[in-house]
Chains A and B, each alone.
Chain A
Amino acid sequence: MVSPMLFIIAPLAAAFVMIIFNNRGLAIALSLLTPIGLALLGLSWLPFTLVQAQPILVASIPAPLGIPLSLDALGTAMAILVSASALLVVLYSTVYMKHGHKQVSYYAVVMLLLTASFGLVLTRDIFNLFVFFEILCISSYILVSWEQDGAALEASFKYMVLGSIGSTFLLVAIALAYRVAGSLDMASVATAFAAAPRGYVVLASVMFLFGIGVEAAIFPVNTWLPDAHSSAPSSVSALLSGFVIELALVITFRVLSTVFAAVNMLPVLQVLALAGVLVGEFSAFGQKDLKRMLAYSSISQIGIMLFAFSLGTPAGAQAGLSHLLMHAGAKSALFLIAGYFIVRTGSRLIDDYQGLGRRMPVSAALFGLAALSLVGAPPLFGFFTKFQILSAAAEAGGVMAWFGIAVILFGTVLEAVYLFRVLRVLFGSSEQTARAEMEWPALTAVALFAALVVFGALLLPTLSSMIGPIADGLSTLH
C-alpha cells in the first residue's frame, strides 16, 4: 500500500518542479495528474480506513516525541473530495486563466493549497496543524489577490489581517496547551485538558475557535469572505467556497470536540452557526453582484453545516457532512459558471445577465440545477441533505434545535427568492442569440460538479453505508 504521506509530498514536489521548469504545459500536466493520482490513492485506502484508522509514522518517531499523523475515514473522504474538486477546478482553469499572468505560479500555489489541505486532515499534532493551517491561509491570500485590481488587493489585505489575528490566537491556544500538557500531540493535550483548571481550557478553546474560525468563515470572524470570494478569480472562489472553508470547519469542529472536549462548546457553536445563517441569507438577499451573492450564500451554508455538527448527535454529524458534499458540488458549479457569465458579458451584475440562458443554454441549465439543489428542491441532492439536517435537529430536540429548524427554513425561503430572481433573469428574453457557451474543459468541470448534485440522490445508499465511520471522525481522534 502506498503511504498516505504521498498526499502531502506529491503536490509539494509538483509545485517545486513547476517552479524549476517554469513551463505552462508542464505545470498544467502536473496539476491534473497530481489530483487524479491522489484521488485514486484516497480511494485505495478507503476500504481500510472505513474499518479502522491507519496511523502514519513520521521520522520513525512516535508521539509524543514526534508528530503523529493518521488517516481515518473522515480524512480519506475529505481527501477524495478535495482531490476531485481540485482536479475539476484545474481543468476549468486551463481555459479560464488562459490569458492570465504568471500561470505557472498559479498552479504551483493551487498545489500548495492541496498540500495544506491534506496535511490538515492527516495531522494529529496541534503545532503541525498550525503549520499546515498557515500554508492554507497564505495560499488563499495569494489566490484571492490574483486579479490585482483595487477590490482584490483590498479584499486580500483584509483577509490577511483577520487571518493573522486568527493565527496569533491559534498560537496562544497552542502555548496554553503546551503549558498544560507538556507535549503537542492532540491525544496528550486532550487528556491534559480534562484534568487542567477550567480557565486554561476555556481560554484555549475560545482562542482556537476564533483562530481557525476565520478560515472556516464562522460568524463573526467571516467579514472577509464576501469581498475575498467575490473579487477572486472564479476558479479560486470555487476552490475556497467549495472545499477550503468546509475543510477548515471540519477541522475546527473535530479539534474542539476532541482536544477541547473538556469544554462544551456546542451551545456556543449553535448560536454562531445560526447567526451565520441569518447574516448570510439576509445579506445575500439584497445583492446585485452575483459573486457577492454566492459568497454570502457560502456564509449561510457554512452556518447550516456547523449547526448540523453542533447538534452533537451522529445523525447531525452525518447530515452535516452530506450537506458539505452537496455544497462542494453546487457552490463550485455556481461560481465556475458565474465566472463565464462575467467573461461573456463583461459585467458582474445580475441584471446584465438578462437572457444569457439563450446564449449559454448548457451553462444556464447547470446553474439552475445547482441553485435548485442549494435551495433544497427535490429530487436534487440538496433536498435530501437539508431534510436530513432538519430531521436530525428534530430528533435531537431542545430549544436551540427547534429554533435552528425555523431559522434554516426561513433561510431557505430567502434563498429561493434570491436564487429564483437570478434564474428569472437568466432565462428571460433577450435580443442577443449568439451562442457563447463555455469552452469544453470548463464545461466538463462544471458538468461534473453539477452531476454530483443532480445524481447525488442516487449516491445515498452507498453514502449511508459509509457515512457512519466517516462522521465518527468528527468526534474521535484516531
Chain B
Amino acid sequence: MISTAQILYATSFALILIGLYAVVTQRNLIRIVIGLNVSDVGINLLLVTLGFIDGGTVPIFAPGQTMGLMVDPIPQALVLTSIVIGFGVTALMLTLVMRIYAHHGTIDASRLRGLKW
C-alpha cells in the first residue's frame, strides 16, 4: 500500500530532477528560469512533506484544543523562507533575461557566447 507521504516524496524528487533536466538541456533562457522554479517547487514540497502525519491537523491552537496530532510546524516555516528566497532570485533572473534580450536581441543560450558552460 503506497502512502500519501511516499507519493509526495516521489513527486518532489521527480520535480527536482525535471527542473534540473530543464536547466541543463534547454536553450531558451526563460525555460531555464522555469526549470529552476520547478526545482524550487520540488524542494519545497519535499520539505513540507517531511512534517506530514497521516490524519494530522494544522499546528494552530484553537480555543480549548490540545496538541493532539499536529503536523510538524518547522518545515512549514522553512518553506515560507524558501519560497520568498525563490521569488527574489526569480525576479532578479528575469530582469537579467530582459537586459540580455535588450542587449543581444536574443535569449537563445546557444547564441550567447558568454553562456557556454
Known contacts A158-B115, A175-B46; is A138 also within 8 Å of B36 by CB? no
CB pair A165 B23 closer than 8 Å: yes
**Given A142, A148, A164, A178, which contacts B99 in the complex, CB threshold below 8 Å?**
A148
Instruction: Provide 18 A-B residue pairs closer than 8 Å at the C-beta atoms, listed in order of the A residue.
Output: A127-B78, A134-B85, A138-B92, A142-B92, A150-B103, A151-B114, A153-B99, A154-B115, A157-B29, A157-B100, A158-B115, A168-B20, A168-B40, A168-B43, A171-B46, A171-B82, A175-B46, A178-B50
Closest to A179 in B: B50
Is A459 on the interface with B (CB-CB < 8 A)? no
Docked CA distance A223–B115 (Å) = 10
Is B89 on the interface with A (CB-CB < 8 A)? yes
Is A155 on the interface with B (CB-CB < 8 A)? yes
Taking CB atoms, residues of chain A closer than 8 Å to B32 are 161
CB pair B114 A160 closer than 8 Å: no
Is A156 on the interface with B (CB-CB < 8 A)? yes
Q: Give the total number of A-B pairs whose CB atoms are below 8 A apart.
A: 86
Closest to A184 in B: B74
Which of under 10, 10 to 19, 20 to 34, or 35 or more describes the interface residues of B? 20 to 34
CB pair A153 B100 closer than 8 Å: yes
CB pair A160 B115 closer than 8 Å: no
Report whether over half of chain B's contact residues are helix, strand or loop; otherwise say mixed. helix
Interface residues of A in 170-190 (CB under 8 A from B): 171-172, 174-175, 178-179, 184
Taking CB atoms, residues of chain A closer than 8 Å to B53 are none
Closest to A137 in B: B89
CB pair A165 B36 closer than 8 Å: yes
Is A243 on the interface with B (CB-CB < 8 A)? no
A205 nearest CB across to chain B (Å): 17
Interface residues of B in 15-57 (CB under 8 A from A): 16, 19-20, 23, 29, 32, 36, 39-40, 43, 46-47, 50
A147 nearest CB across to chain B (Å): 12
CB pair A171 B43 closer than 8 Å: yes
Taking CB atoms, residues of chain B closer than 8 Å to A148 are 99
Closest to B101 in A: A153
Taking CB atoms, residues of chain B closer than 8 Å to A156 are 96
Taking CB atoms, residues of chain A closer than 8 Å to B114 are 150-151, 154-155, 158, 227
Taking CB atoms, residues of chain A closer than 8 Å to B36 are 161, 164-165, 168
**Given B20, B75, B85, B88, which contacts A165 in the complex, CB threshold below 8 Å?**
B20
Taking CB atoms, residues of chain B closer than 8 Å to A174 are 47, 78
**Given A149, A160, A223, which contacts B92 in the complex, CB threshold below 8 Å?**
A160
A219 nearest CB across to chain B (Å): 13
Docked CA distance A161–B25 (Å) = 13
Task: Give 10 closest A-B pairs by Cβ, nearest first.
Answer: A154-B114, A171-B43, A168-B39, A164-B36, A157-B96, A175-B46, A134-B85, A153-B100, A150-B103, A153-B99
Known contacts A156-B96, A223-B117; is A172 also within 8 Å of B20 by CB? no
Taking CB atoms, residues of chain B closer than 8 Å to A227 are 114
B27 nearest CB across to chain A (Å): 13
CB pair B16 A172 closer than 8 Å: yes
Taking CB atoms, residues of chain A closer than 8 Å to B74 are 178, 184
Docked CA distance A52–B111 (Å) = 55
CB pair A178 B85 closer than 8 Å: no
What per-residue 1/0 map shows which CB atoms of B80-116 lie under 8 Å from chain A?
A: 0110010011001100110110011000000011110
Docked CA distance A145–B103 (Å) = 13
Taking CB atoms, residues of chain A closer than 8 Å to B29 are 157
CB pair B100 A131 closer than 8 Å: no
13 further interface pairs, Cβ-Cβ under 8 Å (given A175-B47, A223-B117): A127-B78, A127-B81, A138-B92, A145-B96, A150-B103, A150-B104, A151-B114, A154-B115, A157-B96, A164-B36, A164-B89, A167-B85, A178-B74
